[in-house]
């Protein structure tokens, strides 16, 4: 055998290309593993981290119960109570063939007030899903019944449910939350963030046996805040009872009452009728949720006459004891007629308010410059919200235009040509009662009164207040309160319709007491009374009297009628200065 043949027969020398092929393959495998490792660890490491976290990382959360809402004296108006929610695990239900327990499912459907076919269809819709709600926030009794059914895959979880102890009495103030405890209306919506708070979280790792081995982070819970309102629930209950009775008795479509502390601007009561039960809102018409005291606007009618008289006093065109000639009981302005029911002749400023003379009020308005009159209406707040920050509050309608005819100014002076909310009317009368200082109103209890802005002179404001006492004494007997001096003004206005005015009315009364030192203002609006009685003095004044009387007694405000009698015995009435202004107007 030659050397060449021996070389070829050596197994180490056969097929060298195979050797190199193996080396290349090994190198490629090694390089691919290196590349994959680099890709996973450097370029895209999140996937492995996520999978690792799913196996070892856990998060526990503790929820914070929603804060409570109280009235100014600590009475509960909104609280959270513990309840339970029924939920299902469709996968467990299907794995255990639990749907075959037909009697149990029928019992579950009955107690949850649901149709059994719809209930089981929700489970069958996605049989591999791990969580679906069946019924949110059930009572403890229902929860115990569900627990006793022992249906595999049906579970309970603890939650809280909002409960409103005052019910429909304070519904428009408090509002309500949805099923997830998010504020939807009223105070619940305005202060939702403060009432909700923030739940705490703890992130940690566990080992294969479920033991905590590392706490990664801890987020402390931010406790929810409680809200204390300015409302006095005792006065609120009185106002609601009287208003509801009046709306029903006079067959009115709606009504509102607002009660305000004169010195602080705090709202002591604000109620509307019809109302609703916030604990059970099923089948409740949407319009019942509206807080009419701040959303609905009306032409205020004769309740504006004190503002016109005060404007004339502040400008100096008349004095408190001036006499105005209203003969012959009507006047023509630019082809339009302003009139009284009859010729009242010569009237003092007080008489104009007592008799509610349109002619006298129009002459007072025309005795001052146009811009001065309009500015006083704007100063009174009839084109702005009242500062409550309540959801949906209207700024009313007060035109800011350069051209006003004399007739438009005359009608404005007795409450037509503008539209305001009951809340705006309340703020004006509160400014009148406290000596001419306008304050923002508050639905939240204040530690100290708001600064306020002087818009009328103190002397003239108090003069008008005393005149309003004469209005009640001589003209509105239904507004009187035994033992107390009361002042106020009625209003009866036609409701505007497309193209003019219809045959429907709004009856109003706004007043304050006690006159010796006014503490409270009450405004009553009866919208669209359906019976034979519709004037403010007939439908709104009796409500004012009963609400004011209840508020004075609740707040323990002393009667002042005897003080007036004593003063009348000592002080002799001054002789009125007679002054004729603004002559007679002929057609």
Give dist(CA 66, CA 196) in Å, integer. 5
Phi, psi at residue 430, to the nearest 5°? -65, -40
Q: Do 223 and 258 share a structural domain?
A: no
Indicate the average pLDDT of the chain: 87
The CA-to-CA distance between both ends of the chain, in Å, stands at 153
For 66-96, the pLDDT digits (tens) are 899 999 999 999 998 888 888 888 888 888 8
Q: Do 485 and 347 share a structural domain?
A: yes
Taking residue 375's Cβ as centre, other Cβ atoms within 10 Å add up to 13
Residue 34 — pLDDT band, cuts 50, 70, 90? confident
Q: What is the mean pLDDT of residues 520-541?
A: 93
Structural domain boundaries, residue 111: 64-197+209-228
- 294 Cβ partners below 8 Å, 6+ apart? 270, 386, 388, 390, 392, 393, 394, 421, 422, 423
Q: Do 256 and 388 share a structural domain?
A: yes
Going by C-alpha positions, the residue among 470, 478, 473 that lies closest to residue 545 is: 478
Going by C-alpha positions, the residue among 489, 546, 522, 486 that lies closest to residue 249 is: 546
Residue 153 in contact with residue 96, Cβ under 8 Å? yes
Q: Do 215 and 239 share a structural domain?
A: no
302 is known as an active-site residue: yes
Q: Do 153 and 139 share a structural domain?
A: yes
- 490 Cβ partners below 8 Å, 6+ apart? 302, 303, 356, 471, 475, 476, 507, 508, 509, 535, 536, 537, 540, 541
Q: 76 in a domain, yes or no?
A: yes
Q: Do 261 and 112 share a structural domain?
A: no
* pLDDT for 572: 42
Q: Do 148 and 237 share a structural domain?
A: no
Q: 361 in a domain, yes or no?
A: yes
Tally of structural domains, the chain = 2
Give dist(CA 2, CA 10) in Å, integer. 13
- The helix/strand/coil state of 339 is strand
Q: Do 253 and 119 share a structural domain?
A: no
Phi, psi at residue 60, to the nearest 5°? -110, 140
The H-assigned helical ranges of 223-347 are 233-249, 292-295, 305-315
Give the CATH number for residue 193.
3.90.1310.10
Q: Do 538 and 393 share a structural domain?
A: yes
Q: Do 518 and 370 share a structural domain?
A: yes
Give dist(CA 324, CA 345) in Å, integer. 8
Q: Do 420 and 341 share a structural domain?
A: yes
Is the pLDDT at 261 greater than 70? The verdict is yes
Residue 458 in contact with residue 536, Cβ under 8 Å? no
Q: 446 in a domain, yes or no?
A: yes
Lowest mean pLDDT among 116-130, 286-300, 474-488, 489-503: 489-503
Determine which one of 273, 275, 302, 367 is catalytic: 302
* Sheet hosting strand 57-62, strand order edge to edge: 57-62, 200-206, 212-219
Lowest mean pLDDT among 129-138, 337-346, 426-435: 129-138
Phi, psi at residue 205, to the nearest 5°? -105, 150
Is the pLDDT at 564 greater than 80? The verdict is no
Q: Do 252 and 223 share a structural domain?
A: no
Phi, psi at residue 432, to the nearest 5°? -65, -45
Is the pTM higher than 0.85?
A: no
């Amino acid at each position: 055998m030659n050397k060449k043949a021996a070389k070829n027969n050596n197994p180490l020398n056969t097929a060298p290309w195979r050797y190199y092929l193996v080396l290349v393959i090994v190198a490629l495998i090694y390089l691919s593993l290196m590349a994959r490792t680099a890709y996973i660890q450097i370029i895209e490491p999140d996937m492995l981290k996520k999978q690792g976290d799913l196996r070892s990382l856990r998060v526990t959360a503790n929820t914070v119960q929603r804060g409570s809402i109280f009235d100014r004296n600590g009475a509960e108006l909104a609280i959270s109570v513990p309840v339970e929610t029924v939920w299902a695990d469709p996968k467990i239900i299907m794995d255990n063939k639990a749907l075959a327990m037909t009697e149990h499912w029928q019992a579950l459907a009955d107690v949850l007030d649901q149709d059994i076919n719809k209930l089981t269809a929700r489970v069958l819709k996605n049989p591999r899903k791990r969580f679906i709600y069946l019924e949110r926030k059930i009572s403890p009794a229902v929860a115990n019944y569900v627990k006793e059914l022992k249906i595999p895959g049906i579970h309970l979880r603890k939650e809280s449910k909002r409960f409103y102890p005052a019910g429909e009495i304070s519904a428009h103030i408090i509002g309500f939350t949805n099923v997830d405890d998010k504020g939807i209306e009223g105070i619940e919506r305005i202060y939702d963030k403060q009432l909700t708070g923030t739940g705490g979280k703890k992130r940690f790792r566990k080992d294969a046996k479920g033991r905590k081995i590392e706490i990664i982070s801890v987020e402390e819970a931010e406790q929810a805040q409680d809200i204390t309102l300015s409302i006095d629930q005792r006065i609120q209950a009185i106002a609601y009872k009287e208003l509801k009775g009046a709306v029903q008795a006079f067959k009115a479509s709606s009504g509102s009452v607002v009660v305000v502390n004169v010195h602080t601007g705090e709202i002591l009561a604000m109620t509307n009728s019809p109302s609703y039960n916030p604990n059970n809102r099923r089948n409740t018409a949407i319009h019942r949720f509206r807080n009419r005291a701040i959303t609905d606007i009306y032409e205020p009618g004769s309740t504006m006459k004190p503002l016109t008289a005060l404007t004339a006093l502040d400008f100096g065109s008349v004095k408190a004891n001036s006499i105005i000639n209203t003969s012959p009981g009507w006047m023509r302005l630019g082809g339009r007629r302003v009139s009284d029911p009859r010729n009242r002749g010569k009237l003092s400023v007080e008489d104009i308010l007592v008799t509610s003379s349109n002619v006298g009020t129009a002459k007072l308005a025309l005795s001052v410059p146009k811009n001065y009159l309009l500015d006083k209406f704007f100063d009174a707040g009839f084109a702005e919200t009242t500062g409550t920050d309540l959801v949906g509050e209207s700024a009313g309608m007060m035109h800011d235009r350069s051209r006003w005819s004399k007739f438009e100014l005359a009608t404005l002076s007795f409450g037509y040509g503008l539209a305001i909310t009951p809340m705006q009317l309340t703020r004006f009368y509160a400014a009148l009662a406290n000596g001419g200082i306008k304050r923002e109103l508050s639905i939240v209890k204040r530690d100290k009164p708001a600064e306020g802005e002087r818009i009328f002179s103190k002397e003239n404001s108090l003069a008008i207040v005393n005149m309003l006492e004469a209005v009640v004494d001589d003209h509105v007997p239904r507004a009187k309160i035994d033992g107390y001096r009361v002042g106020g003004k009625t209003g009866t206005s036609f409701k505007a319709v497309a193209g003019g005015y219809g045959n429907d009315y709004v009856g109003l009364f706004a007043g304050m007491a006690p006159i010796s030192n006014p503490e409270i203002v009450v405004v009553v609006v009866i919208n669209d009374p359906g019976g034979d009685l519709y004037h403010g003095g007939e439908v709104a004044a009796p409500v004012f009297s009963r609400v004011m009387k209840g508020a004075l007694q609740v707040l323990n405000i002393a009667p002042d009628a005897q003080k007036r009698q004593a003063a009348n015995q000592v002080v002799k009435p001054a002789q009125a200065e007679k002054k004729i202004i603004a002559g007679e107007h002929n057609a």
